[in-house]
Amino acid sequence: MRYSKMLIPTLKETPSEAEAVSHVLMIRGGYIRQLAAGLYISLPLFLRVMEKINTIIRQEMSRIGAQELSMPVLHPAEVWQKTGRWEAIGDEMFRLKDRTDRDMCLAMTHEEIMTWLAARELRSYRDLPQMWYQIQTKLRDEARPKSGILRTREFIMKDSYSFDADEEGLKKSYELHAHAYHRIFTRAGLIFYQVESDPGMMGGTTAHEFMAPSEAGEDDIAICGRCGYAANVELAVSVAPVHPTVDMPFEEVHTPDMRTVGEVSQYLKMQPHSFIKSLLLITKDGKPVLALVRGDEELHEKKMQYIIGLYRPAHKDEIVDILGVEAGFIGPVNMKNKEIRVIASTSLKSGLYAGGANKKDYHLKGINPEVHFQAEWHDIRVIHENEKCVICGAPLRIQRVIEIGNIFKLGTKYSVPLNAVYLNKDGAEVPIIMGSYGIGPARVAAAAIEQNHDENGIIWPVAIAPFAVTVLPLNVSDEETAKAADSICSALTAKGIDYLIDDRDIRPGIKFKDADLTGIPFQIVIGAKTLKEGLVEIKNRRTKETTKTAPDEAADFVSNLMIVM
């Protein structure tokens, strides 16, 4: 490919709207342009990267026996109404009406349509298992598109779906996908972790996410360096730091106007971890819940949500109404309202604590959990860096990550409402057991840049680079240079190596800068002086290492380097 014929609009300056490294470099490198918030144009270079990534995905999906198909992006409402998601999903779904006033929506995912197809075409246990996937556009009216291509309103997703006869089959399909994902992300040159994740509203029991470390990410994971435990912090557990129990009598103490753990602990000259922090929450259906965490802990909103569903903190006057005492003095002992559900952090289970006395200006000391109050015990605390792994005791690390893929066990959440059933050996009608599995190819590209760049630009992993090699004839009007470039390009073509030749009649400095910025892994530099010595240079973009070789050996040389990488 000739540089002069390709649209590669590189930028010397950083566009003001870009923050994330991958975003900046994709714009500067001439990979993408923004049309509107969360809507991007893929320029030729980026399309090549996406094709490389998608090719890897197709190869690995095919390896596990999945079949590619393609589904509409415009859906009738009825299918979504059957699973209840037409109502459950809010503004995030693009909705429209067709000319006959029929409700339609734009695909934000394809569980419904895949299941619809399965319901028509899969009838017997003999048809199972099946794995279907597509690489298709999804549309979501994101509340906040951000970080360039990382969170957009329209994006390509590889989504696959498994259809099995039973849980055993689902387990197998799930594991096949996990293995395929490991191969895909490894081949793409990424550092990544498979972590336990929230099955959440997707339904089902088990879910994992594939996470690529990067500061530009939106999630945090906890990782144990010793035993390999890894989980999204939304459900990560750790050993709570243990503090020796401070002996104290069970008694009320006067704490005038002392409300927060900080204030009371200072006033009573006690450590925050000797306190019970009490928070009154109101669930979606209006029921009060008292959440208890240790004074040195914070309540994890997501973890709490798994237990009680959506909720909000109680307002000040609600606290008085429900508990008969002002915020700051509430606690689990001697509650006026005995009907309240109490959920406590497991770290509070033993020891003696101080907490609100449910009486204005008073706290209680010497509270002995399970003696003085009853509660449901759950892990509801936010975990912190360096807390101990619950499996092996080694310190945990917290890492910011980009979610590049996820896998869900769906079970029958979609097959039952859409009547995707099959006849088993006994002739009984049974719902198909499903799984769904996603990869964001553009996020893979962005994560690759986040993980592979320097002050000069992108450094693509060879497998997903838009071109493996860029040929830089420094002076195209020099005849010898042009001849050497021609023969090197022919040799590269013969070897099946894709290359970009910078045939522009411009100063060498610009070629070097653009080559570094666009991040093609190998540069073959053809300079008039070096050529007189019968040599060209081959530069490794990542290591900056330069090797001189005869022009007719250059293609071989690069080919060998590619194998090593």
To the nearest 5 percent, what fractions of the chain are helix, strand and coil? Answer: 30, 30, 40
Span interacting with RNA, options 41-49, 83-91, 121-129, 264-272, rule CB under 7 A = 83-91
* Identity of the residue numbered 340: I
543 binds RNA (CB under 7 A): no
Number of residues that bind RNA (CB under 7 A): 63
Which lies closer to RNA via its Cβ, residue 99 or residue 144?
144
* Identity of the residue numbered 304: M
* In the complex, minimum distance from the CB of residue 142 to RNA, in angstroms, rounded to a whole number: 7
Q: How far apart are CA 397 and CA 329, in angstroms?
A: 36
What do you get for the CA distance between the two ends of the chain, in Å?
A: 23
- Reduced to 3 states (helix: H, G, I; strand: E, B; else coil), residue 327 is coil
553 binds RNA (CB under 7 A): no
Which lies closer to RNA via its Cβ, residue 125 or residue 161?
161
Helix axes 167-187, 44-63, angle to 10 degrees: 140
* In the complex, minimum distance from the CB of residue 514 to RNA, in angstroms, rounded to a whole number: 5
Nearest CA among 152, 230, 158, 165 for reference residue 191: 230
Among 306, 506, 542, 549, binds RNA (CB under 7 A): 506
Decide: 469 and 561 in contact? Cβ < 8 Å: no
Nearest CA among 43, 14, 6, 49 for reference residue 452: 49
537 binds RNA (CB under 7 A): yes
Classify burial at 530, counting beta carbons within 10 Å of its beta carbon; exposed 0-12, middle 13-18, buried 19 or more.
middle
Among 7, 16, 99, 426, binds RNA (CB under 7 A): 16
Which lies closer to RNA via its Cβ, residue 305 or residue 346?
305
541 binds RNA (CB under 7 A): no
Span interacting with RNA, options 42-50, 55-63, 197-205, 389-397, rule CB under 7 A = 197-205
Which 8-state DSSP code applies to residue 2? B
Decide: 138 and 438 in contact? Cβ < 8 Å: no
Which lies closer to RNA via its Cβ, residue 364 or residue 558?
558
Spatial neighbors of 89 by CB under 8 A, at least 6 apart, are 80, 108
- Reduced to 3 states (helix: H, G, I; strand: E, B; else coil), residue 458 is strand
36 binds RNA (CB under 7 A): yes
545 binds RNA (CB under 7 A): no
371 binds RNA (CB under 7 A): no
Phi, psi (deg, nearest 5) at residue 92: -75, -15
146 binds RNA (CB under 7 A): yes
480 binds RNA (CB under 7 A): no
Which lies closer to RNA via its Cβ, residue 74 or residue 510?
510
Which lies closer to RNA via its Cβ, residue 465 or residue 526?
526
* In the complex, minimum distance from the CB of residue 420 to RNA, in angstroms, rounded to a whole number: 17
142 binds RNA (CB under 7 A): yes
User: 10 Å Cβ neighbour count for 316?
Assistant: 11
42 binds RNA (CB under 7 A): no
* In the complex, minimum distance from the CB of residue 559 to RNA, in angstroms, rounded to a whole number: 21
Q: How far apart are CA 6 and CA 485, in angstroms?
A: 18
477 binds RNA (CB under 7 A): yes
Spatial neighbors of 107 by CB under 8 A, at least 6 apart, are 71, 72, 73, 74, 75, 113, 136, 137, 138, 139
Span interacting with RNA, options 117-125, 335-343, 417-425, 515-523, rule CB under 7 A = 515-523
| 526-532 contact pairs (CB < 8 A, 24+) | 526/471, 526/472, 526/473, 526/474, 526/481, 526/484, 526/485, 526/488, 526/551, 527/474, 527/475, 527/481, 528/474, 528/475, 528/478, 528/480, 528/481, 531/480, 531/481, 531/484, 532/480
Among 412, 456, 487, 540, binds RNA (CB under 7 A): 456
* In the complex, minimum distance from the CB of residue 75 to RNA, in angstroms, rounded to a whole number: 13
Give residue 109's Cα distance to chain centre: 16
201 binds RNA (CB under 7 A): yes
Span interacting with RNA, options 43-51, 60-68, 86-94, 493-501, rule CB under 7 A = 86-94
474 binds RNA (CB under 7 A): yes
378 binds RNA (CB under 7 A): no
257-286 residues in contact with RNA (CB under 7 A) are none
Per-residue binding string, RNA, 90-109, x by CB under 7 A, is: x-x---------------xx
Among 22, 134, 147, 347, binds RNA (CB under 7 A): 147
Span interacting with RNA, options 53-61, 143-151, 249-257, 332-340, rule CB under 7 A = 143-151
5 binds RNA (CB under 7 A): no
Spatial neighbors of 256 by CB under 8 A, at least 6 apart, are 361
The residues that touch RNA, with contacts defined as CB under 7 A, are 10-17, 19-20, 23, 28, 34, 36-38, 85, 88-90, 92, 108-109, 111, 140, 142-147, 151, 200-202, 218, 301, 456, 474-475, 477, 505-510, 512-517, 525-531, 537, 539, 546
